[in-house]
Amino acid sequence: MPGPLRRPTGAPAWLWIPAALGAAFLLVPIIGILLRIDPGRLGEVITAPESLLAMGLSLLTATIAALISLIIGFPLGYLLATTRFRGQRLVRTLILLPLVLPPVVSGLALLYTWGRSAYLGRLLTEAGLGLAYTTAAVVVAQIFVSLPFMVMSIETAVAARGQRWELAAAELGATPTRVFFTVTVPMLVPGIMTGTVLCFARSLGEFGATLTFAGSLSGVTRTMPLQIYLVRESDPQSAIALSLLLIVVALLIIVLAYRSPHAPRLRAVRGSAEAVDGSVAPAAGDTDDGDAADGFGPTRVLDRVHDRGANASAIGRNATDTISLQATESARGIALDLDIPVGTTTAVIGRNGAGKSSMFEILTGALPAESGTLRIGDRTVFDVAAGLWPPVHARGIVHLSQHPLLFPHLSVLDNVAFGLRARGLPRESARAQAAAMLDRLGVGECAHRRPDAVSGGQAARIALARALVVDPTLLLLDEPLAALDVDVRVGTRRVLAEVLADRSAILITHDPADVTALADTLVLIDAGSAVLTAPVAEIPPAEADGAEDFLRSFCETDAHGILCSRSQQG
C-alpha cells in the first residue's frame, strides 16, 4: 500500500542542516542559562523590591520608547519608501547607523549632545529640562537605538507592497490624507506590529547607551539589564534569575504580538480563483453557453458594431463631444495626439511597450506629462502650459486594471462604498448605493464577504462596481478580463457591455472579442503615438509599416471576421 503523499515545499532537503545549526546556535545558550537556575531562590530574587523596581522601570520606558518610535519612525520610513529627494541615501545611512554602532558609542553621542556640559544639554538644563541621569534620558537612549528598527520595518513593508492601492483610492476621489488613514495605515498594520515589537524588544534589552548617558540610579535610571549587570559578580544566581525574568517577559510580548489578527503570517496557498473553498466559482450569470447564447454571436455583434460605428461617426464633429488628449513624455517616448467621442467606449490596441499603459498613467495623473492638454467635452482636465495639473483625486478619472486591487481590510460592501464616502456621502447612503450597484452587477451576495473570499470573476465585477458607483467622468479599463477564466470572461464581458452604455470609457485590450463586444472606436498605439483612430465598423488599413503588421495580425485573431472585415478588403 503506497505511503501518504507529501506536499512539496520547494526547498532543498540539505537546507535543514544549516537551518538546524542556526536554531541550535540561538537556543543552546538559552537552555544553558535555564540549567543554571536555582529553583529554591527564584521566587525570592524575582520578588525582591530592587528587582520589581528595575523590571517596572524597564517595561515603562520600553513601552514609551516603542510608542514614540512608532509616532516619529512610521512617517520617516514611509517617506523614505515613497519619495525621492537629494541626499536620500545619505539620510537613510545616517538613520540606520545606530544599528551598527556599539551601544557605548551611542551613549557617548547622546551624552556629548544632551549632557549637562554639552551646548544643547546646557540650554535644556537652564530651562529646567535637563536630560542626563533622568528617566527621560533612559527613554531617549532607548529611542536612539531602537528607532532604526521601526524605520526599516515600515520602509521594507511599503516597498514590498507598493502603492497600487493608494493610487486606486485616489482615483476614487480620496484625498491624500484620507488615503493615508483609510488605506495606507490599515494595510501596513503587519509592518507596524513588527516594527513596534522590535523597538520594544530592543529597548527592553538596552544596556550600554543607557548606562553611559543615563547612569544607574535605583528607581530612576536602573533598568533590568543594569540591575543584572550590577549583581552578576556579587550574586550570579540572582543575575541568572533576573535574566530568566527578562527572557520570559520578552517572549510573552513577542508571542502576544504575533498572535494578533493583524500580525504577519504565512497563509495557505490558494488556487487561482481565490474562492473560499479554493474552487473556481463563476459569478451569477457566468456561463459558457457559447457566444450566441451570451448575446455576442456573429450576427448580433455585427449589428452592434455597425450601430456603434454610426454613432461614433456622428459624435466627435463638435469639440464639446470629444475627449481630446495631447501629451508628450520624452523618457517613455510618448507623443500622443488623440480625439475620441465622449459617451462611448474606445478600445486601444498595440504591441507591448507601445505606450498604452503610459497613456493611462498620464490621464490619471500618475505620470506627469512634459506638455499637453486633456479636455473631456467642454471641461479642461489638465493644461501643462497653463500650469493646470490637478492631483489624481481631483480628476474624476478612475482606472480599473486587470488586478481588482480591492482593499483587503474592508468588506466588499465597504470597498464599493469607499469612493462615495471619500466624496462626503454619509455611511448609510453610501452603503445603500454600493449595495444597489453590486446587485446590478450580479454580485450582491458577496456584500459582506472579505475580498479574499470571492472568486476571480466576482472580484472583477466588484472592482467594476466600485468604479461605476462614483460615476466617473472617464473610466479606464486596462485588460480587465485578461486574468479571468474563459467562462467567467464571457459573462463579465456581457455585464460590461450593459454598464458601459452611454459612458465615456477607454479600454486597453489584446482580445478582438472585447473590441467587437464593447467598443465604438478603435485606436492603435505604436511607438507612443496614436497611428490609427477609427469607428470599429470602419477600420481602414493602417499606413505605418509596423502598425500595419500588428493590425493585420490582430484582425486575423478575430474569430468571426467582423472587426477588421473592411480593412481586409481590396
Residue 225, H or E segment: helix 224-231
Nearest to 434 by CA among 475, 470, 396, 476: 470
CB atoms within 10 A of CB 129: 11
Label each residue of 492-518 as H, E or C: HHHHHHHHCCCCCEEEECCCHHHHHHH
CATH superfamily for 18-258 is MetI-like (1.10.3720.10)
Residue 486, H or E segment: helix 486-499
pLDDT at position 389 is: 93
pLDDT at position 100 is: 87
Instruction: Supply φ then ψ for residue 349, to 5 degrees.
Output: -125, 165
pLDDT digits (tens, 9 = 90+) for 272-299: 333 333 333 444 444 434 444 344 444 4
Asked if 18-258 and 290-322+343-367+475-570 have one fold, the answer is: no
pLDDT at position 291 is: 43
pLDDT at position 545 is: 52
The stretches in the chain having pLDDT less than 50 are 1, 5, 266-302, 305-306, 309-310, 312-319, 542, 544, 566-570
Residue 414, H or E segment: helix 412-422
Q: Would you state the cell numbers that stand for residue 109, as one nine-digit string?
A: 553621542
Q: Would you state the cell numbers that stand for residue 562, as one nine-digit string?
A: 467582423
Q: Where are the domains of the chain?
A: 18-258, 290-322+343-367+475-570, 406-471
Q: Would you state the cell numbers that stand for residue 372, as one nine-digit string?
A: 499637453
pLDDT at position 416 is: 95
Please provide the DSSP assignment of 14-28 as one string.
GGHHHHHHHHHHHHH
Looking at domain 290-322+343-367+475-570, its CATH class is alpha beta
pLDDT at position 565 is: 54
Residues with Cβ within 8 Å of residue 442, at least 6 apart in sequence: 283, 284, 285, 461, 495
248: helix, coil or strand? helix
Q: How far apart are the first and last CA of the chain?
A: 69
Q: At what angle do helices 39-46 and 49-82 cross, to 10 degrees?
A: 70
Instruction: Supply φ then ψ for residue 206, to 5 degrees.
Output: -65, 135
pLDDT digits (tens, 9 = 90+) for 336-357: 999 999 999 999 988 888 889 9
